Amino acid sequence: MGRALSEDLRLRVLAARTEEGLTIAEAAERYSVGTASVKRWTRVWRETGGVAPKRNGGDGPEPTIRGHLETVLLDLSLANSDATLPELARLFEEATGVHATRHTVGRGLARLGITRKKSPSSRPKPKQLGS
């Protein structure tokens, strides 16, 4: 997914449609944008009076593991250094009563600057040539 087209371009396209009476297809061709974009900008302009691009990402819910829960996760991680993420998630839920998936625990650890690496002994050994 590319960057959003500028608000200036969006306004120029809409101005050409209203002032010059261009069709959606003509405006799209003149400004080298997709017809779906022109349709969307026209609808958004009609509904809101603006055409500013929406923010990409970052609008999700607050992280589950924040504040004092980070301290709990840190303590659990240090006390159970060999635990896998699913095991830490289970321990975290037992300790706090807050459900957290292994993905949530992984993101929480990443925010704390803690990485979880597999030990070399758990990696498959490379096959020998000629065997």
- pLDDT tens digit sequence for 31-75: 999 999 999 999 999 999 999 888 776 656 778 888 999 999 999
How far apart (Å, rounded) are the C-alpha atoms in residues 81 and 99? 20
pTM of structure: 0.48
How far apart (Å, rounded) are the C-alpha atoms in residues 11 and 76? 54
Note the pLDDT of residue 62: 77
- Whether pLDDT at 109 is above 90: yes
- Whether pLDDT at 124 is above 60: no
How far apart (Å, rounded) are the C-alpha atoms in residues 48 and 102? 41
Residue 11 sits at φ, ψ, to 5 deg, of -65, -40
CA dihedral 11, 12, 18, 24 (to 10 degrees): -100
CA angle (4, 7, 9) in 5-degree steps: 90
- Whether pLDDT at 117 is above 70: no
C-alpha dist (Å) from residue 14 to 24, 36, 45, 59, 63? 9, 13, 9, 28, 39
Residue 65: helix, strand or coil by DSSP? coil
How far apart (Å, rounded) are the C-alpha atoms in residues 27 and 25? 6
Note the pLDDT of residue 43: 94
- In the 8-state DSSP scheme, what is residue 97? S
Q: For the chain, which residues make up each domain, given as ranges?
A: 7-48, 68-116
